[in-house]
Structure 1
Amino acid sequence: MDKKNRRSFIKKLGVAGAAATISPMAFAKETKPFEFLKRTNGNNDLSTLRIALIGAGGMGTADTLTALEHPNIELKAVCDLYTARLDAAKANWGSHLFTTKNYKEILKRDDIDAVIIGTPDHWHKQIGIDALKSRKHVYCEKPMVHSVGEGMELINAWKKSEKIFMVGSQGLSSLGNEKAKELLANGAIGDINYAEGFWARNSPIGAWQYPIPDDASPETVDWDTYIANTNKRPYEANRFFRWRNYIDYGTGMSGDLFVHLFSSLHFITNSYGPTKISATGGLRYWKDGREVPDVLLGMFDYPDTEQHPGFDLSLRCNFVDGTSGSTYLKIVGSKGSMDVKWEEVVLKRNANSFDDDDPFTKEKMKGKTQLSDRKHMVPPLELVYKAENGYKGAHYDHFSNFFNAIRNSGSVVEDPVFAFRAAAPALLCNDSYRQNKFMEWDPVNMKLKS
């Protein structure tokens, strides 16, 4: 079987239950809802799962709130290095909570089945490994690791643990990604040859100028633990509360935002990732002492594989966008394109890309050199898919996948292998920017090329 035929076979496996082809009849309506493609065959087990939160900042708190929307989930403990967050946890979720500034005290507890890791990026790997060794299931915020060199250590720990490890690129579980994957596999846009993504922000909070509490001090923040695995320096409130701006703790625009786009693209295309990465950008506006760009552009070469044809990807991120708020992923093929959002997919097709699949017409045209002058029915050039009313969102579905996998010994859509293949090109984007050179990556074996 040649590479192109293998691609077709793999695509069909990836959307089991979907129609094998797209015909004009599939475009009878310009707007239609679509359903969540089930990934697990659960037995409806709703046994109680006991969870703990490690890192109770903005994203960790949001994750916990979403987790608690699910039935039979109990929050038992919260860990954070800032005293006021522990106080807020008890105020919001009950005085019964066990709270601590030492995450290892949580991992020792027998009444916890799974932990949510919402810490700054530089602690993801170590807490993740320690949690697995303590026989806990893990939901870890993206990116899974702080540097490419950390990836395989965590993957190996996960494989040995036999525990569920889910990484939190929540858009991956969106209806938009599900539908885009189905459409691509069904040939709706032909063969992919290009993709692009964009993420724009402008407000202080969106650009990581997070508020610093009035009581922030070395007395309320466990600074020594915070920097224990990185460069030693005196306490700085900015580095704790605005950590994304600093390379010791965060992973820049690409680690925060590009990684979402990589996750979606890889899910939709079944790709392992690019082989060549380059980046440029600069600090254009937010002159607040940050060490990472506020405008970043990345270019990525995806090779021809059994999963997909070769294509190019461009990603942009702008924290100085005067209109702000724009986020999208566009996938372009030989017959059309898709604009992919979490709750919407806009399919656009070229007027010359439709084949007349009416068997009567085909039979009549056999052996003829000229087409009939008679006009025929054509499908719409643009089709919009929207999530049905009542859709709870990608964040909710991501946790559903996590909890179902724990209860039913199943699998998750974003395990450490998938997550590392999405994180690596984002992290290498940073390396390319700092080192001013192309980065060569082996996405199959997940290592830098020598």
Structure 2
Amino acid sequence: MMKKDRRSFIKNLGIAGATAAILPSTLTAETKHVNLLNRGELFGEAKPLKIALIGAGGMGSADTNTALRHKNIELVAVCDLYDGRLDDARNKWGSDLFLTKDYQDVLKRSDIDAVIIGTPDFWHKKISVDALNAGKHVYCEKPMVHSVDEGHEIIKAWKKSGKIYMVGSQGMSSLGNEKAKELLAAGAIGELNYAEGFWARNSALGAWQYPIPNDASTQTVDWKEYLSITKDRPFDPLRFFRWRNYLDYGTGMAGDLFVHLFSSLHFITNSIGPNRISSTGGLRHWKDGREVPDVQLGMFDYPETKEHPGFNLSLRCNFVDGTSGGTFLKLVGSKGSMDVAWNSLTLKRNAGGESDDPFLAEKAKEGSSRADRKKMVAPLETVYNAQSGYKGAHYDHFANFFTAIRENGSVAEDPVFGFRAAAPALLCNESYRKNEFIGWDPKKMKKV
């Protein structure tokens, strides 16, 4: 059962009255049924679930903290290749934790229901498949895969296992996205024709300049195991602690951030993805030996489907942004637009094509001998804000995961959805390197 306030919004209308927020009747005829997946908590006592964390860095630890906010969730084990993170895990979550550097030790335990995978990207596929084959439910951080060649292997293992697999693009489960999905289906912005997303950062940590521990060495890091599925190299703490900067381990700006925007867009529009992909960018500031750009742009063609008209998408990411930073997703249609954030949404509707261009104003007067009688008009801008007490998209994403496990249900971001969000993001990197358009079949999930 869903809590009643899960999808409730307060409408902040500025000078407009509350009654003016109702969409015009012309839109109601276009309203389609919207099936929003269950991300709510169960009332009453929930079945206890025991979880383990594999990869206890920043995101893995944040995921675990969010998971433990839910009732009847117990952390049993933590795996990481760095001693310092295992020590931190004991201090944060209890001295009785099972700690190990070998994730197979975690998968062998019969008392663990689900694992959170917070490792570098290049380990996602192997640990995911091994965990599913071991009968564990899986919550894997995005992107689901390190390369598009890995996607179908995870999907196959998931279908065979009968377990729940959730990809961690947590913002997808936000109230902002739910409201955008409802409004788009109601025709609030008319026919979608364009979307854009932007992610800006302006700090060293945000640009992946993560701190290097003073004790980083082969004595505290299992470097041999870290590289066991990729190219062997001498120990380099940058490649372990700042792994996002290197293509052997990470997926660049596109895999880290574009994938979030794809996930939200696909949820809102019911899209399965673009069929043409291009990307450009460059290394403009963080010239620290990294192999990936710190400014990246992507452009995508979405073909017409039964779910939506054809439209175009542009994405941009900037790690040298001198403004306040931030992120947004905008959907533009024939009658208006939506600026979508996790906790809010701004709906903007046009007034029938009026313009402040003096030439167009004069042309509009031609053929009219008298002024038309004035009419009642709806507000041109409506702002929706999440109610006070909203626990956030990360919390609700895990609620969907745990509820699906307990009810043998489904999740919002299963491996098929997750792969369709990850693949166009990863193909941005290929387009950037090759300086060419990339063809993609979003239905078959294969390169063209």
TM-score for both structures, normalised by structure 2: 0.88
Q: How does 1:344-359 map to 2 (within 5 A)?
A: 344-352=344-352
User: Matches of 2:345 and 2:311 in 1, distance apart?
Assistant: 20
Partner of 1:382: 381
Q: What displacement does 1:105 show?
A: 0.3
User: Matches of 2:185 and 2:251 in 1, distance apart?
Assistant: 33
Amino acid paired to 1:445: K
Amino acid paired to 2:372: D
Contact 1:277 1:428 in 2 (8 A): yes
Contact 2:37 2:411 in 1 (8 A): no
Q: How does 1:297-376 map to 2 (within 5 A)?
A: 297-352=297-352, 373-376=372-375
Task: State the Cα deviation string for residues 82-116 of structure 1 (Å, max 9, x = none).
Answer: 00100111111111000000000000001100000
Asked whether 1:223 is paired with 2:223, we answer yes
Amino acid paired to 1:28: A
Q: How does 1:43-82 map to 2 (within 5 A)?
A: 44=43, 46-82=46-82
Partner of 2:193: 193
Partner of 1:6: none
Asked whether 1:433 is paired with 2:432, we answer yes
Percent of paired sites with the same residue:
71
User: Matches of 1:26 and 1:38 in 2, distance apart?
Assistant: 28
Q: What displacement does 1:183 show?
A: 0.3
Contact 1:335 1:353 in 2 (8 A): no
Q: What displacement does 1:30 show?
A: 9.2
User: Matches of 2:113 and 2:93 in 1, distance apart?
Assistant: 18
Q: How does 1:30-429 map to 2 (within 5 A)?
A: 37=36, 39=38, 44=43, 46-352=46-352, 373-429=372-428
- 2:139 is paired with a residue whose SS is strand
Q: What displacement does 1:29 show?
A: 3.7
Partner of 1:444: 443
User: Matches of 1:274 and 1:238 in 2, distance apart?
Assistant: 34
Partner of 1:5: none
Change beyond 3 A, Cα 1:291–1:43:
closer
User: Matches of 2:118 and 2:37 in 1, distance apart?
Assistant: 27
- 2:377 is paired with a residue whose SS is coil
Task: Figure out how many residues of one structure are paired with residues of the other and give that number.
Answer: 410
- 2:119 is paired with a residue whose SS is coil
Q: What displacement does 1:78 show?
A: 0.0
Contact 2:338 2:348 in 1 (8 A): yes
- Give the counterpart of 2:20 among 14, 19, 28: 28
Q: What displacement does 1:38 show?
A: 5.2
RMSD of equivalent CA atoms: 2.2
User: Matches of 2:324 and 2:440 in 1, distance apart?
Assistant: 32
Change beyond 3 A, Cα 1:220–1:309:
same
User: Matches of 1:75 and 1:353 in 2, distance apart?
Assistant: 57
Task: State the Cα deviation string for residues 132-180 of structure 1 (Å, max 9, x = none).
Answer: 0000000000000000000000000000000000000000100000000
Change beyond 3 A, Cα 1:306–1:185:
same
Contact 2:202 2:324 in 1 (8 A): yes
Q: Give 4+ residue runs of structure 1 displaced > 2 Å after superposition.
A: 24-27, 36-45, 369-374
- 1:338 is paired with a residue whose SS is strand
Task: State the Cα deviation string for residues 234-260 of structure 1 (Å, max 9, x = none).
Answer: 110000000000000000000000000
Q: What displacement does 1:37 show?
A: 4.9
Change beyond 3 A, Cα 1:41–1:64:
closer
Contact 1:40 1:410 in 2 (8 A): no
User: Matches of 1:43 and 1:91 in 2, distance apart?
Assistant: 30
Contact 1:43 1:408 in 2 (8 A): no
Change beyond 3 A, Cα 1:57–1:373:
same
Amino acid paired to 1:106: V
Q: What displacement does 1:376 show?
A: 1.9
User: Matches of 2:146 and 2:303 in 1, distance apart?
Assistant: 26
Change beyond 3 A, Cα 1:30–1:235:
farther
Contact 1:30 1:380 in 2 (8 A): no
Change beyond 3 A, Cα 1:170–1:389:
same
Task: State the Cα deviation string for residues 71-90 of structure 1 (Å, max 9, x = none).
Answer: 00000000000001001111
Q: What displacement does 1:324 show?
A: 3.8
- 1:238 is paired with a residue whose SS is helix
Contact 1:344 1:386 in 2 (8 A): yes
- 2:339 is paired with a residue whose SS is strand
Contact 2:116 2:138 in 1 (8 A): yes
User: Matches of 1:331 and 1:128 in 2, distance apart?
Assistant: 33
- 2:233 is paired with a residue whose SS is coil
Q: What displacement does 1:371 show?
A: 10
Contact 1:27 1:379 in 2 (8 A): no
Change beyond 3 A, Cα 1:115–1:197:
same
User: Matches of 2:272 and 2:370 in 1, distance apart?
Assistant: 43
Amino acid paired to 1:226: Y
Q: What displacement does 1:27 show?
A: 6.3
Gaps of 5+ in 2: 1-6, 9-15, 24-34, 355-367
Contact 1:275 1:303 in 2 (8 A): yes
Q: What displacement does 1:353 show?
A: 7.1
